[in-house]
Amino acid sequence: MTDTSSTAAVDLSLYPGGTSLDADGRLLIGGCAVADLAETYGTPAYLVDEGALRRTARSYVDAFASRHRNSLVLFASKSFPSASVIGVLAEEGCGVDAAAAGELGLALAGGADATRIVFHGNAKTDDDVRSALAAGVRYVVVDNLDDVERIGRLARQPVPVLLRVSPSLDAKTHAAMMTGHDASKFGIPSGQVDDVIRRIRREPMLDLRGLHAHVGSQLLDLDQFEAAVRALAAFERFPVYDFGGGLGVRYTSADDAPSIDDYAERLVTAVHRHLGEDVELLVEPGRSMVARNGITSYRVVTVKRGARTHVAVDGGMGDNLEVSLYGQAFQPSVIDRSGPAEVVDLVGRHCESGDELAHDVEVVSPRVGDLVTVPVTGAYCYTMSNNYNAALRPPVVFCRDGESRLAVRRETFDDLLRRERLLPGTDD
Ligand code: LLP
């Protein structure tokens, strides 16, 4: 063990913009002490800095509005599918990217305006299509020929649609997050696009307004967005273009990521050069909207020192699948006290060796009961939270100006049991 070094200290640049330490060195999210929130709401918990989230949304909207007259920033709701999060972002001027009926329902429940919702799904059922038509979304994104048939059959008036293109681009990211390559299950491969456009035009209930491309997620090289613009410019011109999401974020102090402004500048410049200044431009950021604005708090349950030091907390892959699914590196901290530093593996409480939150990380030497925070968990963690080992999904707490509000309550055991029919032993 060494004295607390800079790597064991909390790197505030990974935390929401409003994060600070109080006079006693306690970590404050949105002005609320994480320790107080742990008392009030328990752990693990997803803590969202509402003020920082609102500021990110406004920067996104401004970054595009100031560069392009006719733009709309749609929050990719899959990255944090909570009606409250969607509602806050809608208040700040964002529309919503909703995939299938479930996300559409959340967006409407959050107060989003249907005319600012773009509807997605690579396997839309009849019910999905009906829900989009009933809501009156801005565009339905056609992903396959069966979408054309379904919309044609179910619509009673012409539906504005975009066509999702898979533009043959191998995005530089984790294989599971590549979505614009030839082998992708999403969109129409470039070679078939002209045919599908003709097919759509034969269908009177489809009003083809433009093209869509989303080539991948956690993209750190802006050239890839420009490549997507060039790829869509190879087809006939349309009034609307949607370039999806994908902008990557920093997860650890060692990472570097482009700013929202740099991204907007590159994308809009490419759009103006290749598609013109008059098109309607849509983007669908998820991760870069929410990731840094949320953290997860845990309490240390046990520390086991042996070949490695395993620090086990009261959560894990039930609330954060990013590590086990994508090998994502996070930078946790033992908070609210100083002390010698120690290199540890932060593990969860699930029955699986892959249940790790961080590997080989330096933290203040942990003790049972300590609070641990993992920053940059605002994207896709709540999304993929699950009930492995009948774990109860954590609450979502909004923090702003020193006040906290429960946005989603903690799941209870009754919630789990409610779906069970308890077949053996029931009389009826
Ligand atoms: N638009 C479409 C059509 C998408 O499929 C996605 C993400 C987005 C926008 C938002 O992309 P973002 O800005 O967040 O990169 N489960 C993975 C992420 C999968 C992303 C899927 N699509 C994860 O946990 O990292």
How far is it, in rounded angstroms, from Cα 142 to Cα 139? 9
- 289/366 Cα distance (integer angstroms): 32
Q: Residue 247: which domain range? A: 67-289
41 shares its domain with 77: no
Q: What's the gap in Å between 18 CA and the centre of ligand 1?
A: 25
Tell me the per-residue pLDDT of 55-87, one tens digit each, with 9 for 90 and over.
999 999 999 999 999 999 999 999 999 999 999
Q: Are residues 29 and 81 in the same domain?
A: no
Residue 62 lies in a domain: no
Assess whether 11 and 76 both reside in one domain. no
Tokens (6 digits) for 280? 């309607």
CB neighbour list of residue 140: distance below 8 Å, 6 or more residues apart = 119, 129, 132, 133, 147, 151, 159, 160, 161, 162
Binding residues for substrate: 287, 326, 352, 380
Are residues 297 and 285 part of one domain? no
Distance 173 CA to ligand 1 centre (A): 12
The answer to whether the CB of 300 falls within 8 A of the CB of 260 is: no
CA distance 200 to 222: 32
Same-domain status, 306 and 280? no
Q: What amino acid is encoded at 380 in this protein?
A: Y
pLDDT tens string 236-256: 999 999 999 999 999 999 999
- Ligand 1 atom 2: residue of nearest CA: 244
Q: Is 275 a domain residue?
A: yes
pLDDT at residue number 376: 99
> Is 246 in the same domain as 335?
no
Instruction: Answer yes or no: do 362 and 259 share one domain.
Output: no
pLDDT digits (tens, 9 = 90+) for 356-385: 999 999 999 999 999 999 999 999 999 999
User: For the segment 122-178, what is each residue's pLDDT rounded down to a tens digit?
Assistant: 999 999 999 999 999 999 999 999 999 999 999 999 999 999 999 888 877 787 777
422 found inside a domain: no
Q: Which of 32, 94, 351, 381 is catalytic?
A: 351
Q: What's the chain's Rg over C-alpha atoms? A: 23
- Alpha carbon 103 to chain centroid, angstroms: 13
User: What distance in angstroms lies between residue 256's CA and the mean position of ligand 1's atoms?
Assistant: 19
Q: Is residue 57 part of a domain?
A: no
Residue 199 lies in a domain: yes
338/326 Cα distance (integer angstroms): 32
Identify whether residues 167 and 255 lie together within a single domain. yes
Tell me: do 208 and 268 sit in the same domain. yes
Instruction: Let me know if residue 300 belongs to a domain.
Output: yes
Give the DSSP letter of residue 178.
B
CA dist 212 and 160 (Å) reads: 13
Pocket of ligand 1, beta carbon within 6 A: 76, 78-79, 97, 120, 177, 214, 217, 244-247, 284-288, 322, 326, 380
Answer with the one of 289, 306, 337 that is the final residue of a domain.
289
Strands (E), 190-288: 206-212, 240-242, 280-283
Residue type, 85: V
pLDDT of residue 293: 98
The answer to whether 201 touches 213, Cβ cutoff 8 Å, is no
Domain stop point among 271, 289, 307:
289
- In total, how many domains does the chain have? 2
Does 359 map to a domain? yes
Query: Within this chain, do residues 93 and 241 fall inside the same structural domain, yes or no?
Result: yes
Residues 94 and 121 in one domain: yes
- The DSSP letter of residue 421 is -
Q: Residues 290, 107, 152, 122: is their CA dihedral positive or negative?
A: positive
What predicted TM-score, i.e. pTM, was given to this entire model?
A: 0.97
**Same domain, yes or no: 131 and 18:** no
Check residue 2 and give its pLDDT. 44
CATH code of the domain in which 201 resides? 3.20.20.10
Name the pLDDT band for 235 (thresholds 50, 70, 90).
very high
Catalytic residue flag (residue 399): no
Residue to mutate, 217, 260, 325, ligand 1, most ligand atoms under 8 Å from C-beta: 217
CATH number of the domain that residue 37 is part of:
2.40.37.10
Last residue of a domain, one of 228, 259, 289: 289
CA distance 2 to 388: 36
In a domain, residue 193? The reply is yes
